[in-house]
Amino acid sequence: MSGLQWLHAAAASHGQSIRVLFWNVLADCLAKSSPLLSLQRGFRCEAEVLRWERRREQVKEEILRHDADIVGLCEVDHFDDFFEPELERAGFHGTFKRKRSPAKDGVAVFWRADKFEEGVRRTIFLEYGRQRTKAAQVAVLQRLWPRDRQTGKGSKGIVVCAVHLRASADDGFRVQQASALISALQDFSRDDEQIILADVNSKQMMGSSRTEIANVFDYFAACGFECAYTDLGLQHGHRIPKYTTWAGWASGDFKATCDHIFVSKGLHSQAVLDVPDADELAENFPERLPNEFFPSDHMSLIADLVIPDSRPV
């Protein structure tokens, strides 16, 4: 397939640059093959493609090849025996929280230890109303302190949030989850800038009016967050990415833009890396995602962000 395309902001921002990667890596416990279409929730690819011993090397390569400073991952299992030790060897520190049982996967945030000092962390379960929810989704909120900035009284950190909203629910429920997340994030972050790395499991559709909240994407926008990809795509006259997941289920394809990098308005989006061309993917991989070349049913997202020099410290 052809090379990926970077899209850059029309005007350069001056300040500290941060490269952020977000990816739904497809948990090993959820990677089931159904090439003979015997399982509706199985993937059409061959079982060998999904074997963890094969996929893990592809996953590691994809995470490390982009030279990111901050990495957010969802659908993470094998944290203790793969992700943490492998990324530590590459210079990262990280944290992880599993969804509530019986789920086996969760979300993780990693950061380059030479660029950031670890701050306090908070994890929240996204319940259904006031009920304790079985297999509840989880969010990790991690405060980081840039090492080349003052860390004394009055200094600013960055709060990175990784979250995966529920798939088997309607948009109203996911907006409720997003509301609980934003409430916790505002309380935790105070005046620090925020980055939300989210698989919202909701197609990106803008509401018909500025006051309408049609889905989670609209809700985050109404709360003052900008989507790095949408913002830069509009500067270039088109919407990107065209998709972030194109799952080749035995029951059919699911193609949507579910994954996003949201930033608070004190951060500037300088560049984003677009996903592979959809027509090329369809032509080369009738099984869609995952396949022998792409180890997950989601594509990774990469954004270069800037903390402007004018930001008070």
Which parts of the chain have pLDDT scores under 70?
35-40, 128-130, 135, 149-155, 168-169, 204-212, 310-313
Whole-number Cα distances in Å, 271 to 37, 60, 298? 40, 23, 20
19 strand-pairing partners: 304
pLDDT for the residue 34? 84
How many beta carbons lie within 10 A of that of residue 67, not counting itself?
9
Per domain, the residue ranges of the chain are 13-307
pLDDT for the residue 151? 47
Dist. CA 138–CA 76, nearest whole Å: 12
pLDDT for the residue 311? 46
Helical (H) or strand (E) element with 81: none
How many beta carbons lie within 10 A of that of residue 282, not counting itself?
13
Dist. CA 153–CA 165, nearest whole Å: 35
pLDDT for the residue 139? 97
Dist. CA 133–CA 119, nearest whole Å: 29
> What is the CATH number assigned to the segment(s) 13-307?
3.60.10.10
pLDDT for the residue 207? 45
